[in-house]
Chains A and B, each alone.
Chain A
Amino acid sequence: MRGVGPNAHIKREGWPEMKEVFIGRENLLRLIGRWAKDHRVYVPVTFDIMNHEETPDYQLVGDEIPEKLCLEGAALAHTPKSFLFYPREVVAKYPSSDSEAEVEAPPTILVGPRACDVRGIEKFDKVYWSTEHFTEEYDDPFVIEKRKNTYIVSLDCTAAKDSCFCTEVGGEPFPKGGFDVNLSPIEVGFILTVGSERGEKLMAGSDDLVSEVQPNHKEDRDRQRNSVIEAVKRQNAEYAVDVAYEKHELGEDQDAWAHVTQNCVACGACNRACPTCTCFILVDQRAKGGYERTRNWDTCLSIGYARTGGGGNSRPNLPSRLENRLRCKYEYSRDRYGLVTCTGCGRCIDVCMGLIDMREALKHVVTEKAKA
């Protein structure tokens, strides 16, 4: 069982046989159409709501490719985690002799994850697949089967959102590995990179749609990539701290934490929007013919998260909970999984109704430590 999962096919620092081809926009649409015959294919589309253009998000491809397909810009509104780890899912039924919870894992192709999302999936792989932490008996079919059946067709970012900061946490606005297929938008079409054996399967039989990459295509891509890197770096200059992102040790000063938490209302939107928040709660309840156990996304910012029977709570106040969340991203995940799990996607900033900017928060608590 071990070693044959998704990890076995994914070389995050570049698959040795990583192959690059050119594909024009029309042919890409044909390719997506071919995929859609035997997969659920989700593509990024733009939505206008009340004449306001919202951040693009995933839409299921039906008979036609959606007209508002958007392969440019930055990260989509949702992370790919919803496809690997459902917000709510029945994971057990009782009495089990009568019925079993079904593992739902339809073959799915996600077109649109960005580099920050691909890094987010790495956290899932660490939590659910890592042989250092788990043995076969702990395999969780509900996540693993979805992971196995979900193909990642990532995209280079062609612009930065105001909240993007991938370059500040060791990332770049284009993935270098961890995808099955990557698309780099260029002036005349796309450079398509095959990043895994699984990606090769996706491309099988589609040689008619692609051609050789020309030197000017690569120049165009490199220019494009560099300009987005520069844009992300430029907009984050004001948040720069002296400590390298992977060496962050956040301060202990409770006043500093209270300061960054003052606008937090514990809604948990940042948890839900985050590509690497994997915590869940199990809920047992009555169901037709017996009982069921559901797994639901949870939020570490809620007061009930760590509350025990009898009312004990190891994190009774909000600053201590936001502190735990940021430490989880920068310290705990690094110490446990060897990964800083903030990927700089900026979604926590986009969704915060208290307008908390995690970059400012981080700067505040890191700086407080330096001052102390």
Chain B
Amino acid sequence: MIDLLKTEPAKVTEVVDEAPGLKTFVLEPRAPMEFDPGQFVLVSRHGVGESVFAISSHPSEGARIAVSVQAVGKHTNVLHELDPGESVGLRGPYGNSFPIDEWRGKRVHVIGGGIGLAPLRPVIYSLLDRKNEFEGLTLVYGARLPELLVYKPELESWKSGMDVHLTVDEATNGWTGKVGVVPKIVTDLKLAPSNAVAVICGPPVMIRFGHIALKDLGFKDEQIYTTLEMRMKCGVGLCGRCNVDHRYICKDGPVFRMDEIDSLG
């Protein structure tokens, strides 16, 4: 029996400024953490609070766990003050994961918006590691403004292994790429549903319209995966906070297939 609500210390080894108000923290857990793409951790600044974050690093590098943090509230703003060498509390990994093995032989379309790329990054790493097992890989990723696109160096490097389509809602700072919201680009690209799955994560409005766009292209709900977020306290199905109907995001999710979700609430 262990105390499941207790965190282990983890050292901040690297802080990456991804975009205004958005930083990625690389954490070194006491022991390497084994996790699957889609799982999440709870990170805490002692005495301030604890928040849930998708793990955004490579699943085979459990000694270095990355979380991308948008400064939106009290705790995340305090986390943003962290410097390398400082320590945080860490527990997890919790939740289910993307069933990547089930996608073998198929074309995988990864669709992300803004910080929603964070839980998808481990998926992309895994897909690229085994890209010969898939018929093809696509990434459609967008943000409101060019400077809000995250993981910029990787967006470039991934181009060698998958079709990468980047877009912004508003072209500023000399942006010459695609302009338009992600669901529109999905429609324009005419992503093919045949022998394919789509994985989508982003702001709720983007998921909603992305879902509609995919349906219009002929995707069935059984072919579409997403990962949901709710406020959580315990992460293990006890505190009751993250329910969507009788299911808990932390135990039954965060990864769901669209046919498992009646509405996105």
A residues near B, CB below 8 A?
1, 91-92, 94-96, 101, 127-128, 133-134, 136-142, 144, 278-282, 284-286, 290-291, 293, 295, 298, 300, 305-311, 314, 324, 327-328, 331-336
Query: Considering only CB atoms, which chain B residue lies closest to A309 in the complex?
Result: B73
- B contact face: mostly helix, strand, loop, or mixed: loop
- A contact face: mostly helix, strand, loop, or mixed: mixed
A144 and B1 form a contact (CB under 8 A): yes
Question: 3 tightest CB-CB pairs across the interface, nearest first?
Answer: A309-B73, A310-B72, A279-B240
Cβ–Cβ < 8 Å partners of B244 in chain A: 314
In the assembled complex, the CB of A308 is this many whole angstroms from the nearest CB of chain B, namely 5
16 contacts between A and B (CB under 8 A): A94-B46, A101-B6, A137-B2, A138-B236, A279-B239, A280-B233, A280-B234, A280-B239, A282-B5, A282-B233, A284-B45, A298-B239, A298-B241, A311-B72, A328-B240, A332-B245
Q: In the bound complex, what is the Cα–Cα distance between A207 and B125 (angstroms)?
A: 70
B215 contacts A by Cβ under 8 Å: no
B230 and A140 form a contact (CB under 8 A): no
Q: In the bound complex, what is the Cα–Cα distance between A40 and B236 (angstroms)?
A: 32
B residues near A, CB below 8 A?
1-7, 9, 44-51, 70, 72-76, 89, 229-231, 233-234, 236-241, 243-247, 251, 265
A92 and B47 form a contact (CB under 8 A): no
From the candidates B3, B45, B72, B75, name the one contacting A91 in the complex (CB within 8 A). B3
B247 and A336 form a contact (CB under 8 A): yes
In the assembled complex, the CB of A346 is this many whole angstroms from the nearest CB of chain B, namely 22
Cβ–Cβ < 8 Å partners of A308 in chain B: 73, 229-231
Query: Considering only CB atoms, which chain B residue lies closest to A305 in the complex?
Result: B241
In the assembled complex, the CB of B33 is this many whole angstroms from the nearest CB of chain A, namely 14
Q: In the bound complex, what is the Cα–Cα distance between A308 and B75 (angstroms)?
A: 11
B48 and A309 form a contact (CB under 8 A): no
Cβ–Cβ < 8 Å partners of B9 in chain A: 95
Cβ–Cβ < 8 Å partners of B245 in chain A: 327, 331-332, 335
In the assembled complex, the CB of A314 is this many whole angstroms from the nearest CB of chain B, namely 5
B239 and A336 form a contact (CB under 8 A): no
In the assembled complex, the CB of A66 is this many whole angstroms from the nearest CB of chain B, namely 35
A94 and B89 form a contact (CB under 8 A): yes
Cβ–Cβ < 8 Å partners of B231 in chain A: 305-308
Query: Considering only CB atoms, which chain B residue lies closest to A290 in the complex?
Result: B46
A284 and B47 form a contact (CB under 8 A): yes
A309 and B246 form a contact (CB under 8 A): no
In the assembled complex, the CB of B64 is this many whole angstroms from the nearest CB of chain A, namely 23
In the assembled complex, the CB of B5 is this many whole angstroms from the nearest CB of chain A, namely 5
Query: Considering only CB atoms, which chain B residue lies closest to A278 in the complex?
Result: B240
Q: In the bound complex, what is the Cα–Cα distance between A286 and B45 (angstroms)?
A: 11
B1 and A306 form a contact (CB under 8 A): no
Cβ–Cβ < 8 Å partners of B7 in chain A: 92, 94
B265 and A314 form a contact (CB under 8 A): yes
Cβ–Cβ < 8 Å partners of B1 in chain A: 1, 136, 139, 141, 144
Query: Considering only CB atoms, which chain B residue lies closest to A141 in the complex?
Result: B1
In the assembled complex, the CB of A274 is this many whole angstroms from the nearest CB of chain B, namely 12
Query: Considering only CB atoms, which chain A residue lies closest to B89 in the complex?
Result: A94
From the candidates A134, A305, A314, A336, name the one contacting B246 in the complex (CB within 8 A). A336
A282 and B4 form a contact (CB under 8 A): no
From the candidates B47, B70, B72, B238, name the one contacting A140 in the complex (CB within 8 A). B238
In the complex with contacts A137-B4, A305-B241, A332-B246, A291-B265 CB distance below 8 A: no
In the complex with contacts A92-B7, A137-B2, A309-B75, A128-B230 CB distance below 8 A: no
Cβ–Cβ < 8 Å partners of B238 in chain A: 127-128, 138, 140, 278, 280
In the complex with contacts A308-B230, A310-B73, A284-B46 CB distance below 8 A: yes
B239 and A284 form a contact (CB under 8 A): no
Q: In the bound complex, what is the Cα–Cα distance between A286 and B47 (angstroms)?
A: 5
A282 and B47 form a contact (CB under 8 A): no
Cβ–Cβ < 8 Å partners of A310 in chain B: 70, 72-73
Q: In the bound complex, what is the Cα–Cα distance between A307 and B231 (angstroms)?
A: 7
Q: In the bound complex, what is the Cα–Cα distance between A306 and B241 (angstroms)?
A: 7
In the assembled complex, the CB of A159 is this many whole angstroms from the nearest CB of chain B, namely 33
In the complex with contacts A279-B241, A309-B73, A140-B4 CB distance below 8 A: yes
B237 and A314 form a contact (CB under 8 A): no
From the candidates A92, A133, A293, name the one contacting B237 in the complex (CB within 8 A). A133
